[in-house]
Chain A
Amino acid sequence: MADFDLMELISAPIIAMNEAESDNAARFVELLNEFAFRKNEDTGESVLEKLKFSFDRVDPDGQTRTQNVEIPLIHFLPIGGIAIDQATLNYALKLDPQGDTDPNGKLRLKGRLADSSEKETGLSGNVNIEIKLKQIDLPQGVLSMLETTQSATVQTEKEKAPQEPLPIIPDDFVSAQLLELAPRYIEAGQDNMTTILFEFDDAVLTNQSHIDFELSSWPKSALEFEDKNTFSMTRRGKQQIQFLASPIIDEYSSKTDIKLRILARVRAADGDIKEQQISIFLPRSKDAETPALNLSKDK
């Protein structure tokens, strides 16, 4: 077994531990670079990687506003430094009493590892190294970076489209024109489908409102609607309505007016529902006067 320079024997493990800590620190930086930053492809600069969130904040005036917040990813990374907290090295040495001198004339002790049990039967296992690691506080530079990036947390209020003022709904909130009535009079019978085409206009429809229409007849059982007797509109437009005249109309007096009623409903800003009724008198024979194309409005 070769002799060791005693100084080297003691310093080598310390140097090894220092190198280990140095490697550790380098890997810490590698991790930061890998996860906390990204390269700006245009400028080549490292920029903070961020996660972006949104949340609703209620203002003192009771209004809820959506805000965006950007938080650096580094605040979510479970990376931290570890270091050797304590190292205990136990040697059993046998010193060479002669020693040696270096070029400067200083004495250099030499020794060899010896069995601590004082039996020179083997040298294995006679150096005990016990290293305790600890989680060190983050380096001051990293702490500073965290503090700096805390202020890089960007909080912005989401741009909201200006709130469209809720419309004031007039009593006559809808108007209509009769475009077509075919045939020009109603006649009872399954084959006598009547088609009416209206064009509705309005004063209140916005992106946030719609008008519901409900069809009925007067007398109540005079007309049978082919499909459904309701429809909705969110913008002005044409609407075709089809119905059959019930056989019962043949029993009505010739003086009985038959009306198609259209009940329009819209929800006002205050939550109230406004209604407006439109009706059209339906001619009952081909000899009848040309049907009135103007719609009457029954409040």
Chain B
Amino acid sequence: MNHSNIKSHDQGKTNGQMNCPNCEQPIAVTFESLLVAGKLVCKNDECNTVLQLNRANSGVAINAIKTLKSRLSDLGH
């Protein structure tokens, strides 16, 4: 499969974005923050909410991210 639709992203750079469920500020998401740290941290100084990834209940999604990360790596991103 040609993955030309996958945006070019260097390792460690933002892979996605979500809004903090506490303060609604955008949280930049990297694959490392999900796969390695297992948590996301809101950078809003007045919030600093830590979202702890529930690995046990997110297994399929985590595997999908691993696959995508691997393909990005193969593509040289």
Contacts and interface: CB of A to CB of B under 8 A. Distances in A.
A231 interface: no
A150 B67 CA distance: 24
Interface stretch (A51-59, A194-202, A233-241, A261-269): A51-59
Residue among B67, B68, B72 with the highest chain A CB neighbour number at 10 A: B68
Contacts of A68: 54
A242 to B, nearest CB: 46
Interface string B43-60: 000000111111001101
Question: From DSSP, what is the main secondary structure of chain B's interface residues?
Answer: mixed
Nearest to A25: B5
A95 to B, nearest CB: 37
A193 interface: no
Contacts of B29: 75-76
A73 B54 contact: no
A53 B54 contact: yes
Contacts, number: 94
A54 B52 contact: yes
B64 A75 contact: no
A31 B3 contact: yes
A51 B55 CA distance: 8
Interface in B1-29: 1-7, 9, 14-19, 21-22, 29
A69 B51 contact: yes
A237 to B, nearest CB: 35
Given A53-B51, A82-B5, 17 more contacts: A27-B2, A31-B3, A50-B61, A53-B52, A53-B53, A54-B51, A57-B22, A75-B16, A75-B18, A76-B17, A76-B34, A77-B68, A78-B16, A78-B68, A78-B72, A79-B6, A153-B18
Interface of B: 1-7, 9, 14-19, 21-22, 29, 34, 39-40, 49-54, 57-58, 60-62, 64-65, 67-68, 72
